[in-house]
Amino acid sequence: MTERITVSAAGADDAPAMPSWMDEEATTYAQAGVDTAEGARAVDAIKGVVHDTYRPEVVGDIGGFGGLFSIAAAKDMDDPLLVSGTDGVGTKLKVAQLAGKHDTVGIDLVAMCANDILATGAEPLFFLDYVAIGKLKAENVAEIVAGIGEGCKQAGCALIGGEMAEHPGVMDPDDYDLSGFCVGVVDRAKMLDPAAVREGDVLIGLASSGLHSNGYSLARKVCVEGKTHYELRLEREELDGACLQDALLTPTRIYVKPVRAVLDACPGAVRALAHITGGGISENLDRALPKTCDAEVDLGTWPVPPIARFVCGAAHLDEAEALKTFNMGLGMVLIVDPARAGEVEAALAEAGEATYRVGRIVAGEGAVRYANDGELYGYDAGAEA
């Protein structure tokens, strides 16, 4: 049998008993390492940046429990699909923290997410960020979010929400990490699909700005560890006069506007897209292939950025290892109907984009293969002209 315990209500004249710990000196949230006042100051510092990214579809303002975005325009699509992507910046953040330069990694954050959903043909609509930081400093957060805002403007999406969280005892005071979340929309009939790729299609490459946001655990190991601040800021001839720090912090290119312009100008000409991220060309281009085709890539048909040459040289990487670690100068590859390749290249040129024919689609089993072994660094701009 269950015993019932009855608690009598206190009489009207009885004062409620106070817990004994109420007599002790309090330890506040701030003393535990979380400064809510600094958090509020950081929010105030980023409001202008956030507002600058807004599109007409944004409903409300920052500060609510959820970001609101109207998708009324999707009613004009036959079968609208929402496309989502999430990513981070990775250990490139360690270079930014070492340099004390925080205004570019936010661009990387947006790029990694927006370029991914672009690979489906989607238009990025809105973005959310998450900033975890050891000790919140409003000025540093404002720099980070300024970069996120710039990335959103480059991608044409609205920054409608985010979160800043101090993690004392978990992260060092100057340490932080970033995560991003992007949502876009594409009409199913216009979606890019590897199943549409055919033997004979042309590979058109778009140049990267450098390492983008991949391979930095290796890049830091061979180029940053053990180096002084002077060495990292020293201008280097092999980097075309740039210093190592700036070359490593060059932000990821965002391809949304030029590629979207081509998709609108040349409907049906682009079969599929590959965003070249972690794993390099070898482990990303195959994601845009059906199981009946291979991508044959001609080495030496595009320029390799100086920073990629520098890091690969410092790490003594052979071609195969380089091609599965870094983008090696190609940030995105379009798989295009061969009868319309010239049309696509002209539209990309109109959008201000340099292009390189870097290979073709051949019969196969969904793999990436390379022609011209040993010619990765052999691009001749004069021959291209």
Q: Where are the domains of the chain?
A: 34-63+78-190, 194-371
Per-residue pLDDT of 83-132, as tens digits, reads 999 999 999 999 999 999 999 999 999 999 999 999 999 999 999 999 99
Q: According to the model, what pLDDT value does residue 14 have? A: 62
Q: According to the model, what pLDDT value does residue 385 have? A: 52
* Architecture in CATH for domain 34-63+78-190: 2-Layer Sandwich (3.30)
H helical segments located in the chain: 36-52, 92-99, 105-118, 138-155, 216-223, 229-233, 244-249, 256-265, 306-315, 319-323, 341-350, 381-384
Per-residue pLDDT of 67-83, as tens digits, reads 999 999 999 999 999 99
**CB of 252 closer than 8 Å to CB of 309:** no
- The whole-model pTM stands at 0.91
**CB of 300 closer than 8 Å to CB of 290:** no
Q: According to the model, what pLDDT value does residue 5 have? A: 38
User: What's the mean pLDDT when you consider all of the chain?
Assistant: 91
Per-residue pLDDT of 24-42, as tens digits, reads 776 666 666 666 676 777 7
Q: According to the model, what pLDDT value does residue 383 have? A: 65
Per-residue pLDDT of 132-147, as tens digits, reads 999 988 888 899 999 9
183 DSSP β-pair partners: 84, 126
DSSP character at residue 39: H
- The yes-or-no verdict on residue 60 having pLDDT over 90 is no
Q: Give the Cα-Cα-Cα angle 237, 238, 240 (nearest 5 degrees).
A: 65
Is domain 194-371 given the CATH code 3.30.1330.40 in the classification?
Answer: no
**With bands split at pLDDT 50, 70 and 90, how would you rate the model's confidence at 9?**
very low
> Which tokens is 372 given?
């011209």
3-state helix, strand, coil in the chain (%, to 5): 35, 25, 40
Q: According to the model, what pLDDT value does residue 35 have? A: 64
The tokens 């049309």 sit on which residue? 343
> What residues contact 372, with CB distance under 8 A and at least 6 apart?
298, 299, 300, 378
Mean pLDDT of 172-177: 93
Higher pLDDT, 44 or 207: 207
DSSP character at residue 87: E
